């Protein structure tokens, strides 16, 4: 029989690091949560930038900017973040996809007349 005191590798008896698996699992969960929070912050920033573009281009009130973005997203069935990214990219000289451009023009017209 092996004696735990004479077994430097710790092969006898209890796990040499009790609770280590739980800690590793918790660290993994926290890393995933940090990643999700980072993505949310980036997404929020892009949406805020796109709202600013929509307000400036459309001559709208601040409260109308998000509604225009939401309407474009719903009309085109493109995720809001993706619509926002395309609008922000548009300010850097990228072309706006026709579907997004048409939906944005229509939403801006509707918002201006409201």
Contact 87, 104 (CB under 8 A): yes
Contact 84, 50 (CB under 8 A): yes
Instruction: Report the pLDDT value the prediction gives residue 35, as an integer from 0 to 100.
Output: 79
Instruction: Report the pLDDT value the prediction gives residue 72, as an integer from 0 to 100.
Output: 97
Q: Where are the domains of the chain?
A: 31-113
pTM of the model: 0.68
CA distance 38 to 48: 15
The label of the residue with tokens 């690091």 reads 17
Contact 88, 46 (CB under 8 A): yes
HSE on the CB side for 108, CA within 13 Å?
Answer: 15
CA distance 90 to 49: 12
Local confidence pLDDT in tens for the 114 residues of the chain: 445 555 555 455 555 666 888 888 888 887 888 877 777 666 789 999 999 999 999 999 988 999 999 999 999 999 999 999 999 999 999 999 999 999 999 999 999 998
């Amino acid at each position: 029989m092996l004696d735990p005191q004479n077994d430097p590798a710790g092969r006898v008896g209890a796990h040499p690091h009790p609770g280590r698996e739980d800690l590793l699992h918790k660290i993994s969960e926290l890393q995933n949560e940090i990643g999700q929070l980072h993505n949310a912050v980036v997404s929020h920033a892009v949406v805020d930038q796109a709202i600013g573009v929509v307000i400036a281009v459309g001559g709208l009130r601040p409260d109308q900017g998000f509604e225009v973005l939401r309407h474009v997203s719903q009309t085109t069935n493109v995720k809001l973040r993706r619509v926002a990214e395309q609008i922000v990219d548009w300010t850097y000289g990228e072309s706006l996809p026709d579907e997004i451009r048409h939906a944005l023009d229509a939403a801006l017209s509707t918002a201006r007349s409201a």
